[in-house]
Structure 1
Amino acid sequence: MRITKKLIVVGTGIVVLVGGGGAAAFAATAAAAPKVTAEKAMEIAHKQVPGAWVSELDHDRRGTRPDVWEIELTKGSVRYGVDVDAVTGKITDHGTKRADDDGDQDDD
Structure 2
Amino acid sequence: MQITKKFIVVGAGIVTLVAGGGVAFAATTSPAATPNVTAAAPKVTAEQAMQIAHKEVAGAWVSEVDYQRRGTRPDVWEVELTKGTQRHELDVDAATGKVTKHETDKNDDHGRDDHGHDDD
TM-score (norm 1): 0.77
SS of 1:92's equivalent?
A: strand
Cα–Cα, structure 1 residues 23 and 42, in superposed 2: closer, same or farther, change >3 Å? farther
Residue 29 of structure 1, CA deviation: 2.6
Answer yes or no: is 1:30 the counterpart of 2:11: no
How many residues get paired? 101
Q: Is 1:62 paired with 2:70?
A: yes
Q: Which runs of 5+ in 1 are unaligned?
A: 104-108
Instruction: Tell me what 1:106 maps to.
Output: none
1:7 shift after superposition = 2.9
Matched, 1:13 2:23: yes
Give the TM-score, by structure 2 length: 0.70
Give 1:82's aligned residue: 90
Please state which structure has a larger fraction of its residues in helix.
Answer: 1
**CA drift at 1:8:** 1.5
> What is the RMSD computed on CA atoms of the aligned residues?
2.4
Q: How far does residue 6 in structure 1 lie from its aligned partner after superposition?
A: 2.5
User: Are positions 1:39 and 2:40 aligned together?
Assistant: no
> Which deviates more, 74-83 or 62-71?
62-71
Query: Larger C-alpha radius of gyration, 1 or 2?
Result: 2
2:96 is paired with a residue whose SS is coil
- In 1, distance between residues paired with 2:64 and 2:32? 33
* AA aligned opposite 2:16: K
Percentage of identical aligned residues: 54
- Determine if contact 2:62/2:79 at 8 Å carries over to the other structure: yes
